A and B are shown apart, each in its own frame.
Chain A
Amino acid sequence: ETGVTQSPTHLIKTRGQQVTLRCSSQSGHNTVSWYQQALGQGPQFIFQYYREEENGRGNFPPRFSGLQFPNYSSELNVNALELDDSALYLCASSGGGSRTEAFFGQGTRLTVV
């Protein structure tokens, strides 16, 4: 177990709806990154938060947004859901004493119908 927890584990939404995914980072880690993993592919970087500020963004549209809270937990929000947003969404925490390593949660499986 990595100590990174994500909720919910599974979610089904309708096209056009909005969704919020949550992540609790590992104790002592101040950086949270979010990744999208489509079926059969490697994870793709969405964005990263460091001490409550966005600190890098991948090639994702603005309808993907996030937040990081003072306890370093994080949310990923996706507006106007599209069918192609169906994927496993992964949260990774890093920083603290183990600066280089990123530890992933189990992911949230989002299905858009």
Chain B
Amino acid sequence: QQQVKQSPQSLIVQKGGISIINCAYENTAFDYFPWYQQFPGKGPALLIAIRPDVSEKKEGRFTISFNKSAKQFSLHIMDSQPGDSATYFCAARMDSSYKLIFGSGTRLLVRP
């Protein structure tokens, strides 16, 4: 119940295309869902986050879609750029705790 399942494991997208990464969770007590971007040799950097009372949140080229009934959420990267090539992690947390439960990661490669 504590798991967050992430797919796909890897993704190749052409420059200008849309990258879509999906996550699913079981624990309905989760109420904060961030996405992190990680470059090799670096720590994860917070990209965008959403709470379950909102179905969509957009920041620049990054959009989170949230489906509370299906217990799923996804990250969309519009107009993907080679600089977006990184590993992306979804995560979930209960607001009563700072403990983040991470997905297994998606390695994104954006080809020029």
Residues of A within 8 A of B (CB): 2, 4, 6, 31, 33, 35, 40-45, 48, 50, 55-56, 58, 90, 92, 94-95, 100-107, 109
Contacts and interface: CB of A to CB of B under 8 A. Distances in A.
Contacts of A103: 46
B98 A48 contact: yes
Contacts of A43: 44, 89, 100, 102
Interface of B: 6, 32, 34, 36, 41-46, 49, 89, 91, 95, 97-105
Interface secondary structure of A, over-half rule:
strand
Contact of A42 (B41, B95, B99, B102): B102
Nearest to A93: B98
21 contacts: A4-B43, A33-B100, A41-B104, A42-B103, A43-B100, A43-B102, A45-B101, A56-B97, A56-B98, A58-B99, A90-B43, A92-B98, A92-B100, A94-B98, A101-B46, A102-B98, A104-B36, A104-B44, A107-B42, A107-B43, A109-B41
A2 B102 contact: no
Contacts of B99: 33, 45, 48, 56, 58
